[in-house]
Amino acid sequence: AQKITQTQPGMFVQEKEAVTLDCTYDTSDQSYGLFWYKQPSSGEMIFLIYQGSYDEQNATEGRYSLNFQKARKSANLVISASQLGDSAMYFCAMREYDMRFGAGTRLTVKP
């Protein structure tokens, strides 16, 4: 079964600085998708960014970028110019035939 690992239970970042949230995954498949979601305290799940296993370029969406290192099986999320509203739980997920999530990282942005 696929497995997603997020090793940082909590992270702090100063407002306007960049932060990297780590994610590693384990799969024997060649074809898969990697996703990051944000969950504010309200509980809703907000899709942030997607990276396909065959994509050669790292995905970017506004202030979010995904640092994809296929050989190392890592898919780290980089948030540039952090804002107070970025404080939330962040989940890495992988999709093969279903979707599995990591345990999450709680990001706190300090003013």
8 Å CB contact between 88 and 107 = yes
By CB under 8 A, name the one of 19, 102, 107, 109 that touches another protein.
102
- Phi (first) and psi of residue 2, to 5 degrees: -70, 155
- Cβ proximity to another protein, 54 vs 81, nearer residue: 54
Q: Which of residues 44-63 bind another protein (CB under 8 A)?
A: 44-45, 47, 50, 52-53
Q: Which is nearer to another protein, 1 or 71 (CB)?
A: 1
User: Which of these ranges, 14-22, 32-40, 61-69, 72-80, lies near another protein under the rule CB under 8 A?
Assistant: 32-40
Cβ 21 vs Cβ 8: under 8 Å: yes
- How far is the C-alpha of 97 from the C-alpha of 89, rounded, in Å? 25
Judged by CB under 8 A, which of 18, 61, 99, 110 binds another protein?
99
Instruction: Answer yes or no: are the C-beta atoms of 23 and 37 closer than 8 Å.
Output: no
Enter the tokens of residue 16. 């306007």
> Which residues of this chain interact with another protein, rule CB under 8 A?
1, 6, 31-33, 35, 43-45, 47, 50, 52-53, 91, 95-104, 106
